[in-house]
A and B are shown apart, each in its own frame.
Chain A
Amino acid sequence: MAGTRPDDERTNLRHAPTEGRYPSHVRELVASKFPIAMYEAGLADGTPAWGHGGFLLLDDLAAGVTYRASRRPDLVSESVLVRVLAPVGGWFSADLLDRMADAADQHGEGLIHLTTGGTIEIYVPRENVMPLVAALNDCGLDVGSTGDDLRGVTACCGPARCDCAIVDATGLATAIGRQFMDEQQYPGFPHKCKTAVAGCANDCIRAVMQKDHTFVGVYRDLPRLDQERLREWIAGGGEMDALMAACPGAAIRFDGQEAVIDGDRCARCMVCINRSPAFRPGRERGVAWVVGGKYGCRGPAGPMVGTVLIPFIPVVDGDYSQVADVFARFLEVWSEHGGIKERVGDFIVRYGTDNILREMGLDPEGGC
């Protein structure tokens, strides 16, 4: 229960915060077989007790298994984990959660980690890796997404639950994941390559900053506007002045009865759509392709927000072939011209988007 100090005899948890209202990671660690003594040792020393690790090549698995070395061999010798490609959109059924828990208990340390990157990590003793992977395969899951490969493709929750989804983000991400399965399981690129699909330009998953490739659902015509619904919304307390002030292009005019959207000023963002149900996304839909996002202070360009490579790739009736085609072409160009350990962001800074588009066989002036 919250507020109680976990009763753990394996180590002294005096350095770890365990009280208070907020849920505790220590409580989860203690409830598993994870070597929490390593965590406590790190806290006591002011530096992690783990050392550099690497990727394990086991049987035919070229990716998906990684380990940390130990600086405290008196406590543990190493820690191994498998990285699991998650269902996109973060979706889980009760059955899958139960079966993952069983697999983690039976073969692993009984600890599951939902990473910031969108994958799932399960800690496991080295000798149990293959039985764990087999058990995960039986649940419809697989491992990958380590080293210089295409990292697990992720998406926002998509049209299954969201009213803003302009494209089928979860469908598109799963289609990309299927088509580029080998790329997620066999490292061979210059560096890691993260990919996500955001259903609309709200980009709730902040993919344009985290991912090397983001496909963002966009519309090219104007927001659809229901004048009657707008009057109802205002009568119900909707703040039209605030909505007009929030519009980044100042594109909306309102005469007290009807609103007009100025197409030259409209940025095709989601602001009016977020604020009032009278505005809905336009019908001419596709994805904008944003490349080069990365958080870390790595590489000559440091942290970057991605840049638009192609502003509009049409998606009609769930046909994603055009997206997959240009994505494959980019990966080829990057593989050929990217330097060793050069992230996509650093590559586009060095090589230039025009050159990249030309190498991909596209006209930099023309778009898709």
Chain B
Amino acid sequence: MERQFPAGIMPDFWEMLSPRLRENYGQWVWHEFPAPGVIRHLTAAGEACISVRVQLPPNGYLSAATLRVLARWIRTYAEAGRRTSRQAFELVGVAPDRLADLLDEVRQHGFLVGGTGSALHQIKGCTGFVHCQNAAIDSPGIMKALGDALADEIDACCYPAPLKLSVSGCPNHCGAGVEADIGIVGIFRDPPQLDLQRMAEAPPDFGLLGRWCPGGAIKVKCGPEGRLLTILEDRCIRCTSCVMVAPDSISMGPRRGAAIVVGGRGLTGGRGANLACMAVPYLPAEPPHYPAIIQAVKRLIAAWVTGAKPGERVADYIDRVGLDEFLHQAGARTGS
């Protein structure tokens, strides 16, 4: 029979589960963290399920060979695998007597085990220069540099509470910088540059350009020579929306860098979710080691570790002491 495209297949997660995970579906009542990177779930009947969290390379890039390694680890040591929403990988249902062997093998392979509980979790981010046209900074490179600088804090639970770092290459935030405890965001410092001749040759959707601009910075005038677009620089927030609409005639200027945002919070603490707010508006992004970004992040972490109560996430600490005080402690207050 000839193939039909699209096939219309919704993948079935149930087929990924082992018989034991199916049997205990919905039966788990508690979990604990016996070691960094190791989670132990328990049923009321005393059944246990050990998961091992492996930190994956920045932005979840995996060669086919690495995918086969993960498959082999599942076959040899566990029952199933899963990618987490932060681009880490968990081996689920690890046999207790094989746990030590698995941890050895993962480390020998050059991957880290960790990122559970009050540690640095998997650093999440977008594709950056690897596969995006819009990135101001190379997020995977920054994630790698951050990970190297903070590697000892991934497999030691030395923080007051979990710490999540995310890196977005541009203000579109595919890398989730705004949701993290500490987020790094690529920024453009110049207003968009217009090529009016190209715009006249191939007119973009002027209506959408105006509607989409969050700052109300784009003005379109109709004149005898057609529509003329101007950008009010004071209102422009350098978000790149207009570039997405008219990539052929609008581009971002050459000056780029990183901003740091702090205090993103999910629903976990029962105090409502909020997005991270601006802490450091500009830092130079210098590959391959990004010293200015690393230093600023380390200072923010140190201020939080020193001041926070046990269990207090960055956002909750900021709620208690105030953003200004937190930035002052971190030496990150820009003043003026």
Contacts and interface: CB of A to CB of B under 8 A. Distances in A.
A31 B106 CA distance: 18
B82 A91 contact: yes
Interface string A142-157: 1110000000001111
A296 interface: yes
12 contacts: A17-B287, A71-B133, A93-B17, A101-B65, A116-B124, A116-B174, A140-B9, A160-B13, A161-B51, A185-B8, A209-B178, A305-B275
Contacts of A174: 10, 12-14
A311 interface: no
B155 to A, nearest CB: 9
B228 interface: no
Given A160-B17, A185-B8, 17 more contacts: A14-B288, A16-B141, A25-B61, A25-B143, A31-B65, A48-B133, A48-B135, A59-B5, A92-B74, A92-B80, A115-B60, A142-B7, A163-B29, A203-B273, A209-B275, A295-B177, A340-B208
On chain A, which size bracket covers the interface?
35 or more
Contacts of A177: 10
Contacts of B49: 161
Contacts of A163: 28-31, 41-42
A208 B135 CA distance: 25
B68 A101 contact: yes
Nearest to A60: B5
Contact of A17 (B10, B148, B267): B148
A270 B21 CA distance: 24
B214 A46 contact: no
Contacts of B26: 159, 165, 168
Contacts of B141: 16-17, 43
A178 interface: yes
B314 to A, nearest CB: 14
A3 B108 CA distance: 11
B6 A116 contact: no
B127 interface: yes
B193 interface: no
B273 A17 contact: no
Contacts of B241: 297-299
B57 interface: yes
A47 B137 CA distance: 8
B236 to A, nearest CB: 11
A113 B60 contact: yes
B68 A98 contact: yes
B16 interface: yes
B172 A298 contact: yes
A160 B16 CA distance: 10
Interface in B134-172: 134-135, 138, 140-141, 143-148, 151, 154, 168, 171-172
Given A113-B61, A142-B10, A161-B49, A280 B29 contact: yes
Interface in A4-49: 14-29, 31-32, 39, 42-43, 46-49
A161 B247 contact: no
B201 interface: no
Contacts of A110: 63-65
Given A25-B58, A112-B62, A297-B214, A48 B132 contact: yes
A178 to B, nearest CB: 4
Interface of B: 3-17, 21-22, 25-26, 28-31, 41-42, 49, 51, 55-68, 70-72, 74-75, 80-85, 87, 92, 108-112, 124-135, 138, 140-141, 143-148, 151, 154, 168, 171-179, 208, 211-212, 214, 237, 239-241, 244, 247, 254, 256, 264, 266-275, 287-289, 310-311
A25 B17 contact: no
Given A134-B3, A246-B269, A267-B270, A140 B70 contact: no
B131 A79 contact: yes
A309 interface: no
A68 interface: yes
Interface stretch (A80-88, A328-336, A355-363): A80-88
Contacts of B5: 59-61, 130, 133
A156 to B, nearest CB: 7
Contacts of B31: 162-163
A259 B191 CA distance: 59
A101 B13 contact: no
A91 B127 contact: no
A94 B59 contact: no
A118 interface: yes
Interface of A: 1-3, 14-29, 31-32, 39, 42-43, 46-53, 59-64, 68-69, 71, 79, 81, 85-98, 100-102, 104-105, 110-118, 123, 130, 133-134, 137, 140-144, 154-163, 165, 168, 170, 174, 177-178, 181-182, 185, 201-206, 208-210, 216, 242, 246-249, 267, 269-271, 274, 277, 280, 295-305, 339-341
Contacts of A159: 25-26, 28
Contacts of A79: 131
Nearest to B29: A163
A116 B126 contact: yes
Contact of A101 (B71, B74, B126, B311): B71
Contacts of B254: 46-47
B56 A23 contact: yes
A344 B16 CA distance: 32
Q: Which of B10, B31, B212, B240: most chain A Cβ within 10 A?
A: B10
B81 A21 contact: no
A25 to B, nearest CB: 4
A154 B86 CA distance: 13
B303 to A, nearest CB: 22
Contacts of B64: 32, 100-102, 104-105, 110-112
Given A295-B178, A295-B179, A204 B110 contact: no
Contact of B130 (A14, A29, A87, A299): A29
